[in-house]
A and B are shown apart, each in its own frame.
Chain A
Amino acid sequence: MPMTMARTSLLVTAMLVGHFAVAEGERISFVACPVVRDTATVPCFLADNAGTTYYLGIQQDIGADWFPPQLNHKVLVEGYLSGDTVCGGLEIKPIATSVLPTVDPACNTILPAEPGIVAPHAERGAGPNGEVPGSAPRRAPPPPPEPPFAVKEFSLSFTFDDDGLIAREFGVLARAIEYAKVSKASAIDIVISRGSAKLSSGEVINEDPSAVMRRERLIRRWLAVAELPTATRVSIKPMGEPLPADGRTDENNRYIKLTITPEKR
């Protein structure tokens, strides 16, 4: 049976930033339990690795560029140290985080707000929004594609072992499909990657093959409702072997790439 949550929110756990030399711009990559730090505004998300506390980001919403991790799951953290300390942790920026799919009840720590620990400014706080969404002018949709059409590539990125499209990728896929339709694509060549990640410890972890299968299923379903031109040839190539990890840009190696070839005129 799934565990019964026993949150450690009331534990006053002293989490100190480790005292060792950290170089700005240093690559950092690890798997750990996320830790939530409450503040007077929105919570910060932290993670401990090898005795050091890192700051990952703050609570936002699905319109944001970065999505926070989830308690009850470990998180894969990949990025570069900024040299700043934020919310009690060394800031990693830019950062990529992946919620690992296995439920892990041990990842369950919420630290209480403490004087002196302040979250960075949040566009949206912990209460209702300041304005009515939609009261500001809606961002104009990109103009429809116009000729001349050329071979064009669209890339959808994923987090480690995941097949879910996050909010900002919806538009990428919608634009790809529109481009294929408007350009009367003769071909859509799709490559589905299987990624890997080299951790700071030297360990390499590979995405599960099922993640590739699920990404393939996702794109096939989208294509099934896309109403593409009947003449469009679609090829889908899922990768069997993981792309090699270099420990620097591994977060970019989890993708679906669509190369769209317009109709020849």
Chain B
Amino acid sequence: MNKQKNTKLRTGAGSLLAAALAGISAVATAAQPAVQPPAAQDAFWWRPGSGETMPAQMAIRNANGALGIVNADGAVNTRGHPFFEPIGANGRACVTCHQPSDGFSLSLKTVTERWAESGGKDPLFAMVDGANCPNLPPADPASHSMLLEHGLIRVAMPWPYKKQFDAFAAREPEFTIEVVKDPAGCNLDAEYGLKSANPTISVYRRVRPTTNLRYVVDPSYDLSGRFNNKTGVPLPVDPATGKHTGLPIMSDGRADTLEVQMQDAIRNHMQGMNGELTDEVIAQIKDYESQVYSAQISHNVGGSLVETGAPPALGPYALASGRSIINGNNWRSPTFMTFEAWEKDKPANDREAFRASVARGNQIFLERPIWISEVTGFNSIGMGNPYKRTCVICHSVHMTGNDFAPGVMDLGVNNEPWANAGEVLENSHLPLFKLTCKPEARPHPFAGREVYTHDPGRALLTGLCHDIGSLVMQPMRGMSARAPYFSNGSAKDIAAVVDYYNARFTMELTDQEREDLINFLSVL
């Protein structure tokens, strides 16, 4: 492979940007930096190996406006850069599934466009995980329906696992698994399924964003002496630093560090390395991911989200200069700070009305108590069930809204009775599994001894009934760029996310409140 070292281009624009961002003290100074945002360009496919330079800042259009991207270290020469080069044996690069236009995730829109443009031949559709099952006819769109229709990548997990995941996982799984329904065909497949020579469970998950990662894995975040509140066991230790980590990476938290995630991606999604995954390569990818920020920068109705006087948490510049990782579940540093600037009782025009709606949405998010119930990893750990608090109790990392407390939770998007917003699980395109907890195991806290699920989540690693369906919460930024949502893509748009919570926690939102929350989420 091309081992040319990445050169960070300190362009004039990049230097000005860095200077502007350096002048901000994120929490104390509730104001947008004085930065001239770039003109928005149409969304595009970042072709692996294109060798283009990624500017210090970009704005890329999406359905709601535009996503802003900031490379805090300045423009990035992607030629030879392992994030952008097809280092995988199957022609994929990191950027294949972590597209800038999609907030460094992968939107369904991009997937379908890519299929049309490439005739299904793009490495994105590699049979290993870009198909419902590897042995289906590659050229048939039906073979890729999970990816083409729902934006889902296949994740193959050996079952039962041959090696205990960690000291606190079960040596032998506490439950058995049956495949109840298998629309994609892989879990019952003779070659790749649960009864094959290498028994495997296939679950289908969305791609997580590789941006704003300082709010997810900041090495300065001191977890020493902390425990996993949700399970009462010590947090894992990063062997490279000796520091505790908080299970923030990947849907099931199977990577304690970015390095482990990279190894997993190379092995499973890229089918091996087209070269060697050296410490230098890892460092290059990590350096890049640690300095790139993205968030919605403008809205079709709401206008600029980063103009002087705009709410201080909006846009990518605020993320680039914000403090990580601090708790936003409080009044001094609320998760998305304040939207006071946009509050207006009598808006004069559509823009003001939209902005006032966003401000009300933040108010609901921050202040309106709801009955949080039957969430394993939350209601099951001593909080009580139900628990009357606001959204921010869980969406608590300042600026990004992922979970400040380490560990995993089961919101219910995969398990009965809350999956599919109350629709019948058997009608889903997702596989359906029945997990039966053994008599000696403590049953799942809210689903009981028999659990019907689309994705056993972390339990596929730990073998613990408690973990069935539990997953790592995602940051909330750049949502307008990366539909669909939830780990299994079951919310096709932002409205569906709001509707899920409205039903799940009996929020009883009025039409106006629902719209306010949708508008709020669309500008993050």
Which residues does A use to contact B, with CB under 8 Å? 1-5, 7, 9, 36, 38, 42-43, 45, 59-62, 64, 67-73, 101-103, 110, 126-135, 141, 161-167, 169-170, 174, 210, 213-214, 221-222, 224-225
- Whether the pair B227, A170 counts as a contact (CB closer than 8 A) is yes
Contact segment of B86-94, B298-306, B439-447: B439-447
Q: What is the minimal beta-carbon distance from B383 to any residue of chain A, in angstroms? A: 6
CB contact between B384 and one of A70, A131, A221 (< 8 Å): that residue: A70
Min CB distance, B64 to chain A, in Å? 27
Q: Is the Cβ of B232 less than 8 Å from the Cβ of A126?
A: no
Q: Is the CB of B440 within 8 A of A131?
A: no
Q: Chain A's nearest CB lies how many Å from the CB of B220? A: 14
**Extra inter-chain contacts (9) besides given A166-B232, A210-B441, A225-B167, CB under 8 Å:** A2-B447, A42-B388, A43-B386, A68-B385, A110-B371, A128-B366, A132-B327, A133-B327, A165-B232
What are the residues of chain B within 8 A of A161 when measuring CB–CB?
A: 442
Residues of B within 8 A of A (CB): 167-168, 225, 227, 229, 231-234, 326-327, 329-334, 366-367, 369, 371, 373-374, 379-390, 392, 416-417, 439-452, 506
Tally A-B pairs: CB < 8 A. Answer: 144
Whether B390 and A4, one on each chain, are in contact in the complex, defined by CB atoms closer than 8 angstroms, is: no
- A127 near B389 with CB under 8 A, answer yes
> Lowest 8 A-B CB distances belong to which pairs?
A68-B384, A70-B385, A165-B232, A67-B382, A103-B448, A126-B369, A129-B330, A210-B440
Taking chain B's interface residues, is the majority helix, strand, or loop, or is none over half, making it mixed? loop
Contact A110 to B225, CB < 8 A, known contacts A5-B374, A128-B367, A132-B326: no
- A167 to B447: give the CA distance in the assembly, Å: 24
A45 to B382, CA, bound (A): 13
Q: Closest residue to A170 on the B side, CB-wise? A: B227
Question: In the complex the two chains form, is A72's CB within 8 Å of B446's CB?
Answer: yes
Cα separation A175 to B387 with both chains bound (whole Å): 31
Chain B's nearest CB lies how many Å from the CB of A174? Answer: 7
Q: A128-B331, A133-B330 are in contact. Are A2 and B168 (CB under 8 A)?
A: no
Q: Residue on A with the closest CB to B174?
A: A214
A221 and B383 within 8 A (CB): no
Instruction: Note all chain A residues with C-beta closer than 8 A to B229.
Output: 62, 167
For A61, list chain B residues within 8 Å (CB): 382-383
Residues A132 and B333 in contact in the complex (CB < 8 Å), given A69-B384, A170-B227, A224-B167: yes
List A contacts of B383 (CB < 8 A): 59, 61-62, 67-68
Nearest neighbor of B333 in chain A, beta-carbon distance: A132
Cβ contact within 8 Å between A7 and B367? no
Task: Point out the residue from B331, B366, B385 that lies within 8 Å of A71, measured CB to CB.
Answer: B385
B417 touches A45 (CB 8 A): no
